[in-house]
Structures are given as C-alpha cells and as structure tokens.
Amino acid sequence: MAAPARTAPQRRAYLVGGGIASLAAAAFLVRDGGLRGADIEIFEETATVGGSLDGSGSADVGYVVRGGRMFTYEAYSCTLAMLDSIPSLADAAVSLRDEMLAFNTEVRSDSHARLVAGGRRLDASDLQLTSRDQLDLAKVMATSDAGLGTRRIEELFRPGFFETNFWCMWATTFAFQRWHSAVELKRYMHRFVQELPRLHTLGGVRRTRFNQYDSLVRPLQRWLERQPS
C-alpha cells in the first residue's frame, strides 16, 4: 500500500495583545514563517491596535500621542528589517524602512541645547565622567545579570556620578531613575553604548515622519489585513 502523501502540518498562531510586538511577530510569521494571514489571530482588548504606539486626533482638534519612540539604526536592526517588507501608505513602492531613512536624511537630530541650566546652555559634550565612574560603568557592563541581582543603580556608583552630564543625559534620554535596576542599566548600556559620543546632540536618534501610529501601525495593520487567506 502506498504511503499517504505528506502534507505540511497546519499551523496557527494566536497572539495576545495588538501592540507592535504582536504586529511584528505576525509580519515575521507571514514573511519568514510562511503562514497565511488567516492562520494568525491577534487578540486585542481595546478598540485599536498599536498598544503603546497609540495616537489619535486630527489637524483640526489637535493630536494626543503617548510617546514618540527614538530609533537608532544600530540597535533596531530587526525592526528595520521587518519594516523593509512593509509598503508605506504614502507610496506603495517605498518600504517603511526606506521612508524612515529618507526622512532622517532630510531631518537630522542635532540638538544644540541638550542641557540647559539657569537659562544658559551647558557644554554637554563633556560627559564629566571620572576614571572611577568609567570603571564602575565598565564593571556594570561586564557583570552578569545574576551577578548584579536585584541591586539598584545607586548602589553601584558614587553620589557624584548622578551629578554628571552623562547621567543627566542618559537618564532623560532613556527614562532612568537612580533607584532603577542595575540590570536594566546594563542592558541599555549594551544596546546604546555607541550613542555616547553623540549623546549631547542626539545625533543617533531616528524618527518616523509622522507619529508612530500613523507611520508604523496603520501601514503594518493594512499589510497584514491584505495577506491572502
């Protein structure tokens, strides 16, 4: 008797939450995993997808946007690779990645007043890190998560570290408090250490042309909805 023909196992994906994590996962499942649009279900408890990348409003009444994500080319390679497959809403021949690259060539981040005190601009190019601070930062970066354990950032640096230009810029760029976890600081240092020479100009920061709901979520949602079932 002939063996039954082999058929690919039917695969389905169920993603909880309609934030960028699920939308990106769905895009990768379609693009790289070969799933059909109909094989993917995203459960979102609110009326809109996008999660934290929300945004609403109009030119007439104004906009409400919770936040604007800062991208860097170095740290967001997976995101950019995914966006390279998604057509822009403005021009279907252009990918969201290329749309973003073009926008950031046109509009460059170049802060001339990254730190201001008493109404005067400070020279923020000097990070003010002592040799001891640099050593302490290197130690944090080289210590395992288990080695850092539950320690807070403030437990690992001298008090003066928190008065430096470095800390003021790092904390306000990445929303750190000195009582946050040292493990979190370590992960961000690994991810964004290449920003140190341009931390005072924000020169590495890339942005989308519009708010991220309109620039990323809407085109991604449309692309997913148009996948064959």
Ligand X SMILES: Cc1cc2nc3c(=O)[nH]c(=O)nc-3n(C[C@H](O)[C@H](O)[C@H](O)COP(=O)(O)OP(=O)(O)OC[C@H]3O[C@@H](n4cnc5c(N)ncnc54)[C@H](O)[C@@H]3O)c2cc1C
Q: How far is the CB of 194 from ligand X (least distance, A)?
A: 15
Q: Is 133 or 205 the residue whose CB approaches ligand X more closely?
A: 205
Q: How far is the CB of 21 from ligand X (least distance, A)?
A: 3
State the DSSP string of the chain. Answer: -PPPPP-PPP--EEEES-BHHHHHHHHHHHHTT---GGGEEEE-SSSSSBGGG-EEEETTTEEEES--PPB-TTTTHHHHHHHTTSB-SS-TTSBHHHHHHHHHHHS----S-S-EETTEE--TT-----HHHHHHHHHHHHS-HHHHTT-BGGGSS-GGGGGSHHHHHHHHHHT--TTSBHHHHHHHHHHHGGGGGGTTTTTT-B--SS-HIIIIIHHHHHHHHTS--
State yes or no: residue 168 binds ligand X (CB under 6 A). Answer: no
Q: How far is the CB of 47 from ligand X (least distance, A)?
A: 10
Q: How far is the CB of 44 from ligand X (least distance, A)?
A: 5
Q: What six digits make up the tokens of 23?
A: 């939308």
Q: Which of 26, 29, 53, 100 binds ligand X (CB under 6 A)?
A: 53
Contact string 18-47 vs ligand X (x = CB under 6 A) = xxxxx--------------------xxxx-
Task: Give the range of 51-59, 110-118, 131-139, 188-196 binding ligand X by CB under 6 A.
Answer: 51-59
State yes or no: residue 113 binds ligand X (CB under 6 A). Answer: no
How many binding residues for ligand X (CB under 6 A)? 18
Q: Is 66 or 178 the residue whose CB approaches ligand X more closely?
A: 66
Catalytic residues: 188
State yes or no: residue 66 binds ligand X (CB under 6 A). Answer: yes
Which residues of this chain interact with ligand X, rule CB under 6 A? 16-22, 43-46, 51-53, 66-67, 69-70
